[in-house]
Amino acid sequence: MSAKERVLFVSQEITPYLPESHMGTIGRHLPQGIQEKGREIRTFMPRYGNVNERRNQLHEVIRLSGMNLIIDDNDHPLIIKVASIQPARMQVYFIDNEEYFQRKAVLTDKNDIEFTDNDERAIFFCRGVMETVKKLGWAPDVIHCQGWMTSLLPFFAKTVYKEDPMFENAKIVYSLYDDRFSIPLDSRLSEKVQFDTLTETDVESFKDTTYMGLTRAGIKYSDAVIIGSDGLDAELLSLANESGKPVLGYQDEDTYIEAYSEFYSEVLAGSPVLAD
């Protein structure tokens, strides 16, 4: 394995910035483990309003901030913040915007109802990651997406950014978790992701704005799939196993770092990987 291989982690949740969860724990420890195996890493998550900036010592990265992202004909300023996890010698980059990420919650309100603008928050997060990586000038070999909030990133990477030198050779791995939402996203999602360079056919995958629709799109534009949650429901498992993509079955806390690292190598090498 070349020490120069680079893995970009794009995660919906990372511990300790949010209350502990299975996805958040993997988001925290997987990048450290992969870094300790000799790969370079970068890690991104949304800067939700309930992330305590003072306690976690977040600060804005002025040289990366200042861009506007246009979503549905509206300009939205992109703010990049960063924090360090000292024991792991790793940094976490946060995608921030006052309209989308200031509310003191993650994806649902105090009554556990999903926010009606979660579609635009996902678009902003995924595009914000892509644009920030471009500014960093850091071309990843593997992009590992975790959580449905990242499901648009494989699409952007394989369409809008497919000829960009930063992403043209990247392999995308998509992890499936038990993070299902109940209310479909905005029915205009396909219009909102349709850039000048794309046709209506290109965005057909986003006509279905249900959780299963987004998961199907995430898998479609990825190169490989990981089963991230134990006991994942049969419908999601079928989507993965029928996709024709390499699939890595669920790994427990003692094996997942080693197994994921080997899986990245196999995907990069183009080796066939059988589903467990």
Q: Give all domains of the chain, ordered by start, each with its CATH number.
A: 6-40+119-268 (3.40.50.2000)
Cβ(131)–Cβ(78) below 8 Å: yes
State residue 86's pLDDT score.
87
State residue 1's pLDDT score.
41
Using the structure block, give the residue that is written with the tokens 């995907």.
267
In sequence order, what are the residues at sequence separation of 6 or more whose Cβ sits closer than 8 angstroms to the Cβ of residue 32? 85, 88, 89, 90
Cβ(143)–Cβ(10) below 8 Å: yes
Residue 38's CB is within 10 A of a number of other CB atoms, namely 12
State residue 41's pLDDT score.
97
Below-70 pLDDT ranges, the chain: 1-3, 271-276
| Interatomic CA distance for residues 198 and 186, integer angstroms | 20
State residue 272's pLDDT score.
56
Q: Which candidate, 217, 244, 12, 259, places its Cα nearest to that of 122?
A: 12
State residue 271's pLDDT score.
67
pLDDT tens digit sequence for 111-154 = 999 999 999 999 999 999 999 999 999 999 999 999 999 999 99
Question: 156-164 long-range contacts, Cβ below 8 Å, gap at least 24?
Answer: 156/126, 156/127, 156/130, 156/193, 157/130, 157/221, 158/221, 159/197, 159/198, 159/202, 159/221, 160/130, 160/195, 160/197, 160/198, 161/130, 164/134
What letter would DSSP give residue 133?
H
Stretch (H or E) spanning 40: strand 40-46
State residue 196's pLDDT score.
80
Q: Is the peptide bond before 16 cis (omega within 30 degrees of 0)?
A: yes
What letter would DSSP give residue 86?
G
| Interatomic CA distance for residues 176 and 142, integer angstroms | 17
